Structure 1
Amino acid sequence: MSAAIRQLIAHAEVRLDPDPSRVLAQLFVPGQELVRDRASRTSGVLNRILALPEEAVDTTLEAVTARFTGRHRDLRATLQAHYERVAHRVTDDTALSNERRLLIGACFTKEYSVEAAALFNPSAVAHPDQSGLERGAVRFVLSLRAVGEGHISSLEFRTGVVGPGRNLRLDDPGRFLDAGQHQPTTYDRELFLGKLAEVAADEESSSFLMRRLPPHFENAALESALSDLADQPETRHGAARTGQLARHIAMCNYDIEFDSTSPLPERVLRPHSPSESGGIEDARFVRFIDDDGSATYYATYTAFDGKQVTPQLIETADFQRFQMRQLSGLAARNKGMALFPRKVGGRFVALSRWDRESNAIATSPDGRAWGSPTTLQTPEQPWELIQLGNAGSPVETDSGWLVLTHGVGPMHEYSLGAILLDLHDPSRVIGALREPLIRPAPSEQDGYVPNVVYSCGALVYGDQLLLPYGVSDSSVRFAFVDIPLLLDRLTVDGPWK
């Protein structure tokens, strides 16, 4: 690293490591944890519990509550809820004592360590609440990719304060985790049309279905329209498949809400939909300011179903209720979409890596349906010969849109770089670093995936960037970047020829 780059960067002493003691109590159905044999063993387990004498039920439940109560906010409520999920398999529920119901719930519960394997790939945005801070300080929300058993990724949060200067403090994350409650949602007709077209659904059946739905609708309206479609199998031969695809799309779009009393660092977004069954990965949060001055938090993230990756969108106003939505269009493919923090020319704008190796840009009228991308930057420098991508949403400056990038080079080493886009025409690159801004230091080379530094978004405060970054897919470190010096370097280097 050159002296010119070294003077741009200062590292904080703060470091985040995975904590395997942060656990959720989740539903567990015996038998379904096996890969090849997915048959439930519910009946056998229930019969053995029902055969226990009451004294054994009491002593077993007492032992369970003694060992696990301190690890969860309300363990008994969780056990009761899990019992209710399987109670339909009990012949005579009224004959059971409350203790036996709770023991059944315990036998259908397992702890899941959200951070058991790794904690990395952070993004930072300004917190909705900036009250009570000293001058020059900013309270922030940090999103994190947490990897647990089975290499399944979830989305976690931390909060903290940065500034004045290079002071950095992270808040206590709390000891309990909360996965929230799923809520009824409203669907978008245009999104359904776009997604049905992408999977080559029967056009006639799709049109028939969509004509029976308003621009925004709920599940009851969808099921009614699907029933009408199913009544015409003789004349609409694609009806059955179109119905299956429409229900799949519906399951991939949902809302989740957390109790207002649960602290933000204890909230976890766990995979819920079919498109996320393999994990929720690499959320790039941005505080988006609309034309009327209102602020909404968006995050593009990678939904992984075990085979395919797809960019999807999170929307929230308060980090209490989250809308999880699909995206459509050519630019909404592969990993690494990142939204701009405001519209440009009256349209939503996003960075895309739709071709898996180059940085591109695309626009959308609504932030959901994305058109054809325009390539911004292709791999050219030695440290990015394999592929390029962004490292979070662009930062607006008087000099242009500052974009942190990542490049992959020899030995599959990930480094962080930067480019500068024209403020009024962000499809034009006006500056690019010739060398990495950050590359793995010797102390950062070892981890779950070696030789990686990676970020999903930095926070502007004053003339500084707080740049959180993942270290070898294992932990998180923080750097401070001097924005004026970085912009000077980008201006001197100019665009690549």
Structure 2
Amino acid sequence: MRVTHRIEPDPSRLVARPFIPGNSGPNETDRRLDHLVDRVLAMPPELRRQTLERLRQRHGTRYADLEEAWARHLEIARQVTDRVPADLDEEEAALLGAYLTLGYAYEGAALTNPSIVPFGPEADGRQPFVMSARAIGEGHISSITFITGAVDGDGRVELDPRSPFVSNGVRTALVASRERLRRKLAELGYLDEPAERIVSALPDDYSPEDIDVAYRVLHEADTDPVGLEIAYHRVHWVASSNYEVEFDPGRPVSEHLLSPSAPMESQGMEDARFVRFVDDDGTVTYYGTYTAFDGSRILPQLIETNDFHRFRISTMTGPAAHHKGIAIFPRRIDGDLVAISRHDHVNCYVMRSDDARSWSNAELAFGPEQEWELFNVGNCGSPIETPEGWLVITHGVGPMRRYALGAVLLDLDEPAKVIGRLREPLIESAPDEEFGYVPDVVYSCGSMLHGDHLVIPYGYADRGIRVAVTRLDDVLAAMA
């Protein structure tokens, strides 16, 4: 085992986010946005120019799209209040937008829990890759960030320099399936009579605007307006989980940041597990799964991308898709998409699907056995295909909530059948990795195989990332 590279969180990497004060309430003093607009526009022109110049000097080099962000956040404010004049000059608009913007250190607290996938053609034995990571910022809010690099034929890992800039891309709502929405509401216990009436009023493929129209029409004649309003907000909460994010394809992947942009993930997008999936016809899709968290509830989410510039995000449904840690196999088995997950919080299950979104059954594969994993065992990313079987890197939780990584080998044709397993941990916390945001933890969300070299990036103590490289043959030989 060779451990290389230490990637620490960089608090200087910032993303510009909206900072819109409240503007509703029974009292005039509650209209904070209106009063802010008035104060900014009352500034003398010379003071506005000086303030704007200082802002550009201090903050202009920290962001790739600062003034575009100011403009976006000003437009958000226009949707909240009519106090913003339509005829603002360039300086007034820029300065007001700056007051409505904050800099967010999205990895200021931690950078951890990476996954890795090959991305791009191999050349001279050198395979490029994309590594995703969980970035944790102020308020313990998680985003998904990306690091690029390559591994050569000798298993040496090179990381590309990280750009100082990052952006959130452009988000658009997706047209989604009414029946999938109905199923997810039922799974969550939200499909009561008012919710069913809203869903039934939607077209087969609906947009968020269709939900608004259905609610307004039903509200006019409804005898239970409170119940209908509760149902409306629940339907919107679930429906908002389907969207697309597009980034400038001319910018490096390391500048792309997937940040919470829907109510159901307002407190974080956690532990993305990416896989390079090759379908039976040779089509390549990069699937990622993550856990959306709103502070009290979780939803398993699916990411689809072909190029790491455009991402389609949708909710996973079905009785087997209700917990954290779903990882999709890199190809179909017997015509089915297959995934591994910790379906019952303790053991690992294999489940199947037609379309990667709906998972309706789960078959027990393995559970805790050794003393270092007796609390529970889960996957550390998608299984890796080898001639001997599907290699699953696992994490086990032992006494004092100490995490360690292990490995299990599953049958190629019957993936719920265990044919090999490490009895001792593959990776444990080194002395210099034990202490951090969460002590005594090592964790990974995905590894990759290049030749005989197994590349395992892992997070330690929820503080930073290291990269381990070992030979596949050594891992398989150590299995019982």
1:108 maps to amino acid: L
Q: 1:59 aligns with which of 50, 64, 78?
A: 50
Residues 5-61 of structure 1: CA deviation (Å, up to 9, x unaligned): xxxx2222x1111110000111112369xxxxx966212222221221111111111
1:293 maps to amino acid: G
Q: Where do 5+ consecutive residues of structure 1 fail to align?
A: 1-8, 33-37
Rate the CA distance shift 1:29–1:211 in 2: closer, same or farther, 3 A. Answer: closer
| Corresponding residue for residue 364 of structure 1 | 353
Output the CA distance in 1 between the equivalents of 2:306 and 2:150: 20
Structure-to-structure mapping, 1:367-378, within 5 angstroms: 367-378=356-367
Output the CA distance in 1 between the equivalents of 2:82 and 2:164: 34
Among all aligned residue pairs of Structure 1 and Structure 2, give the percentage whose two residues are the same amino acid. 43
Structure-to-structure mapping, 1:371-390, within 5 angstroms: 371-390=360-379
- The reply to whether residue 22 of structure 1 matches residue 20 of structure 2 is no
Mean CA deviation greater in 418-427 or 195-204: 195-204
> Could you tell me how far 1:184 is from its partner in structure 2?
3.4
Contact 2:20 2:77 in 1 (8 A): no
Output the CA distance in 2 between the equivalents of 1:488 and 1:392: 21
Q: 1:352 aligns with which of 341, 366, 370?
A: 341
> Could you tell me how far 1:332 is from its partner in structure 2?
1.4
2:421 maps to amino acid: A
Mean CA deviation greater in 309-318 or 16-25: 309-318
2:39 maps to amino acid: R
Rate the CA distance shift 1:139–1:198 in 2: closer, same or farther, 3 A. Answer: same
Contact 2:114 2:131 in 1 (8 A): yes
Residues 44-102 of structure 1: CA deviation (Å, up to 9, x unaligned): 22222122111111111111111111111232232223223224636462564321221
| Corresponding residue for residue 417 of structure 1 | 406
Residues 196-255 of structure 1: CA deviation (Å, up to 9, x unaligned): 211334466666655655553434445555556556646999755544332222112111
TM-score when scaled to structure 2?
A: 0.93
Structure-to-structure mapping, 1:106-145, within 5 angstroms: 106-127=98-119, 129-130=120-121, 133-134=123-124, 136-145=125-134
SS in 2 for 1:470: strand
Rate the CA distance shift 1:41–1:124 in 2: closer, same or farther, 3 A. Answer: same
Structure-to-structure mapping, 1:105-184, within 5 angstroms: 105-127=97-119, 129-130=120-121, 133-134=123-124, 136-184=125-173
2:347 maps to amino acid: S
- The reply to whether residue 244 of structure 1 matches residue 236 of structure 2 is no
SS in 2 for 1:373: strand
Output the CA distance in 2 between the equivalents of 1:194 and 1:171: 43
RMSD after superposition: 2.4
| Corresponding residue for residue 252 of structure 2 | 263
> Could you tell me how far 1:472 is from its partner in structure 2?
0.9
Contact 1:194 1:369 in 2 (8 A): no
Mean CA deviation greater in 43-52 or 14-23: 43-52
Contact 2:379 2:392 in 1 (8 A): yes
Contact 1:330 1:354 in 2 (8 A): no
Output the CA distance in 1 between the equivalents of 2:187 and 2:84: 48
SS in 1 for 2:70: helix
- The reply to whether residue 403 of structure 1 matches residue 395 of structure 2 is no
2:371 maps to amino acid: P
Output the CA distance in 2 between the equivalents of 1:401 and 1:126: 17
Contact 2:375 2:396 in 1 (8 A): yes
Residues 263-313 of structure 1: CA deviation (Å, up to 9, x unaligned): 100000000111111101100000111121101011111111111233211
SS in 1 for 2:40: helix
Output the CA distance in 2 between the equivalents of 1:119 and 1:381: 29
> Could you tell me how far 1:188 is from its partner in structure 2?
2.1
Rate the CA distance shift 1:110–1:221 in 2: closer, same or farther, 3 A. Answer: closer
Output the CA distance in 2 between the equivalents of 1:174 and 1:144: 15
| Corresponding residue for residue 77 of structure 1 | 68
Output the CA distance in 1 between the equivalents of 2:244 and 2:84: 34
Output the CA distance in 1 between the equivalents of 2:137 and 2:319: 31
- The reply to whether residue 343 of structure 1 matches residue 335 of structure 2 is no
Rate the CA distance shift 1:27–1:284 in 2: closer, same or farther, 3 A. Answer: same
Contact 1:201 1:238 in 2 (8 A): no
| Corresponding residue for residue 437 of structure 1 | 426
Aligned residues, how many?
A: 474
Output the CA distance in 2 between the equivalents of 1:412 and 1:307: 22
Output the CA distance in 1 between the equivalents of 2:183 and 2:355: 13
1:15 maps to amino acid: R
Residues 126-146 of structure 1: CA deviation (Å, up to 9, x unaligned): 11x226x22x21100000100
Mean CA deviation greater in 387-396 or 359-368: 359-368
> Could you tell me how far 1:445 is from its partner in structure 2?
0.6
| Corresponding residue for residue 3 of structure 1 | none
1:122 maps to amino acid: P
Residues 340-389 of structure 1: CA deviation (Å, up to 9, x unaligned): 11121211111111221211121122221112322222222110121111
| Corresponding residue for residue 187 of structure 2 | 198
1:408 maps to amino acid: V
Rate the CA distance shift 1:261–1:44 in 2: closer, same or farther, 3 A. Answer: same
Output the CA distance in 1 between the equivalents of 2:327 and 2:30: 41
Output the CA distance in 2 between the equivalents of 1:215 and 1:94: 38
Rate the CA distance shift 1:176–1:40 in 2: closer, same or farther, 3 A. Answer: farther
Rate the CA distance shift 1:106–1:243 in 2: closer, same or farther, 3 A. Answer: closer
Contact 2:65 2:167 in 1 (8 A): no
> Could you tell me how far 1:315 is from its partner in structure 2?
0.9
1:69 maps to amino acid: G
1:58 maps to amino acid: R
Output the CA distance in 2 between the equivalents of 1:278 and 1:319: 23
SS in 1 for 2:189: coil
TM-score when scaled to structure 1?
A: 0.89
1:46 maps to amino acid: V
Rate the CA distance shift 1:95–1:272 in 2: closer, same or farther, 3 A. Answer: closer
Q: Where do 5+ consecutive residues of structure 2 fail to align?
A: 24-28
2:133 maps to amino acid: L
Rate the CA distance shift 1:82–1:464 in 2: closer, same or farther, 3 A. Answer: same
| Corresponding residue for residue 285 of structure 2 | 296
1:109 maps to amino acid: T
Rate the CA distance shift 1:211–1:439 in 2: closer, same or farther, 3 A. Answer: same
- The reply to whether residue 473 of structure 1 matches residue 465 of structure 2 is no
Contact 2:182 2:191 in 1 (8 A): no
